Amino acid sequence: MLRTAFRALNTVLKTAGLKLERASADFDARPEDRFSRGLMVEELAAGFERWIRAQTLFTPAPMSALTELVDRFYHDWLQSPFRSPTGGSRLNNLLWLCLLARAYEPKVIIDSGAFQGASAWALALGAPAARVYSFDIDLSQLKRRTSGVRYIEEDWIRFDPDWQPGDRVLAYFDDHVDQARRLIEAADRGVGLLIFDDDYPLTSFHQMAPSPNVLPKIEFLLSPHLKDLQTLQWRYGGKLHTWTAEGALLENARRRIKATERLPFTGLTTNIMQTPYRLVVPQ
């Protein structure tokens, strides 16, 4: 009966290009036996361990009992309000935020783009001794305030840095703001390690670009193909958008990258297909 009504409603909605879908959360379908869950957790831990040993961006703190840490993280995340498949960071990326914060041991963490509070939660979990500031121009979407995190309703650039030269500062940018601008701001303020979400190359940024204000991405700075005054045009939400590369601005931002790396893709372990973060050490 309910199924018939659901189908009938969808037939009507389809004429307007709409579709009714059952609300679902990540990992509603999940492994329940110890073997499968253990394998998933071990694979996630091993992926991070391989990466942290091979990377040369920073000297990591020694990390023991990584599998137990990942298992606890997974347990806490399952109980959290951060399992929506849309809008915010999902399991794999949140886990990397937690582990990166643990490995980097920052004194201060900047989380730009608080949204529902997921990234601030994961970062604070990884570095409980750090001062964590979570910024958003609209904090009304917060689902959880993590204890010890300071939530600030403004752009981070309006905040007076309270750290000293030499302090380890980590910043996570997931705020849909031009990444070249964020890179320069963070470099000027002495941030030591930057994590960028939504860093897409020239070939695939379109779905995540509702306006030209989100450009350029870090990938644009690294591309050998983008030339001065190159114009990009793309369709989003039925509207045509345009962005033109300004060579001098791109070069200025490019010069602020000391080292950079894309994190490995771990989607097949969890079937959560999120784009891996980009890390940048600025100068």
Ligand X SMILES: C[S@@+](CC[C@H](N)C(=O)[O-])C[C@H]1O[C@@H](n2cnc3c(N)ncnc32)[C@H](O)[C@@H]1O
- Find the residue with minimal CB distance to ligand X: 88
**Does 136 contact ligand X by CB under 6 A?**
yes
**Does 146 contact ligand X by CB under 6 A?**
no
**Does 155 contact ligand X by CB under 6 A?**
yes
Q: 161: cis peptide before it, omega within 30°?
A: no
Residues 18-37: x where in contact with ligand X by CB under 6 A, - otherwise, as a string: --------------------
| Crossing angle of helices 66-79 and 91-104, rounded to 10° | 130
Q: Which stretch binds ligand X (CB under 6 A): 2-10, 16-24, 113-121, 263-271?
A: 113-121
Locate all alpha helices (DSSP H) within 158-282, ordered by sequence. 179-188, 218-222, 247-254, 267-270
**Does 126 contact ligand X by CB under 6 A?**
no
- Selected binder of ligand X within 119, 146, 260, 266 (CB under 6 A): 119
- Selected binder of ligand X within 26, 71, 175, 185 (CB under 6 A): 175
Residues 248-277: x where in contact with ligand X by CB under 6 A, - otherwise, as a string: ------------------------------
How close are the terminal C-alpha atoms of the chain, in Å?
Answer: 63
Residues 37-96 touching ligand X, rule: CB under 6 A, are 88-89
- Can you tell me whether residue 18 is helix, strand or coil? coil
Query: Cβ neighbours of residue 33 under 8 Å, at least 6 residues apart?
Result: none
- In DSSP notation, 118-180 reads HHHHHHHHH-TTSEEEEE-S-GGG-S---TTEEEESS-GGGSPP---TT--EEEEE-SSS-HH
**Does 177 contact ligand X by CB under 6 A?**
yes
Q: Which residues bind ligand X (CB under 6 A)?
A: 88-89, 112-113, 115-116, 118-119, 135-138, 141, 155, 174-177
